[in-house]
Amino acid sequence: MNQIYWIYLAVLLFSIGAATVLVRRNAIVVFMGVELMLNAANLAFVTFARINGNIEGQVIALFVMLVAAAEVVVGLAIIFTIFRTRRSASVDDANLLKY
C-alpha cells in the first residue's frame, strides 16, 4: 500500500482536530481536539520514519505521548477548577476579560 495515504490520514486528523478546537464550546471537547492534533502529528512522524527508513520518528512519537500526558494533567486541572467556580465548562462563558 502506498504510504502517502498515511500522510493524508494524518493531515485529515489534524484538520479535524483543529476544526474541533475552533467550533466546539465545551473546554473538554476543545482539549480533545488538541489531543487529536498531537496524535495526528505522531502518525505523521511514524509514517515518515517508515518512509525515510530511520528510527528517529518513532522515538519522537514516544516523547510526544509523554508530553501529551503531562498536558492532560495540567489541562484537566485548569478546566476542572474553572468548572467548579462557574458550574460550566463552556469556553463562551469565559468572557470577562475583553477590551
Partner 1 sequence: MNAPSFDYAALAPMLIVFVAALLAVLVEAFAPRARRFVSQVVLATVGIAGALFAVIYLATQDKAVTTAGGAVAIDGPALFLQGTILVLALLAVLTMADEDPESGAFTAQASAVPGSSDEAKAVRAGLVQTEVYPLILFSLVGMLLFPAANDLLTMFIALEVLSLPLYLLCGLARRRRLLSQEASLKYFLLGAFSSAFFLFGAALLYGFAGSVRLSDIDAAVSDGATATAATAVVGQDGLLLLGVGLLAVGLLFKVGAFPFQSWTPDVYQGAPTPVTGFMAACTKVAAFGALLRIAYVALPGVRWDWQPAIWLVAALTMLIGSVIAIVQADVKRMLAYSSIAHAGFILVGLLAMDRDGIGSVLFYLAAYGFTTVGAFALVTLVRTSTPEGGIGGEATHLSQWQGLAKRSPLLAFTFTLFLLAFAGIPLTSGFTGKFAVFSAAVDQAPWGPGLVLVGVAASAIAVFFYIRVIVLMYFNDSVGDAVTVTRPGALTIFAVGVGVVATIGLGVLPAAALQLANSSSVFLP
3 binds partner 1 (CB under 8 A): yes
1 binds partner 1 (CB under 8 A): no
Number of residues forming the site for partner 1 (CB under 8 A): 48
**Using CB under 8 A, which residues numbered 47 to 66 contact partner 1?**
48, 51-54, 56-57, 60, 63-64
Gap between the Cα atoms of 49 and 45, Å rounded: 6
70 binds partner 1 (CB under 8 A): yes
- Which residue do the cell numbers 505523521 mark? 44
- Which residue do the cell numbers 467548579 mark? 84
How buried is 23 (Cβ within 10 angstroms: 0-12 exposed, 13-18 middle, 19+ buried)?
Answer: exposed
Contact residues for 27 (Cβ-Cβ < 8 A; gap 6+): 79, 82, 83, 89, 90, 91
7 binds partner 1 (CB under 8 A): yes
Interacting residues toward partner 1 by CB under 8 A: 2-4, 7, 10, 14, 17-18, 21, 27, 30-31, 34, 37-38, 40-41, 44-45, 48, 51-54, 56-57, 60, 63-64, 67, 70-71, 74-75, 77-79, 81-82, 84-86, 91, 94, 96-99
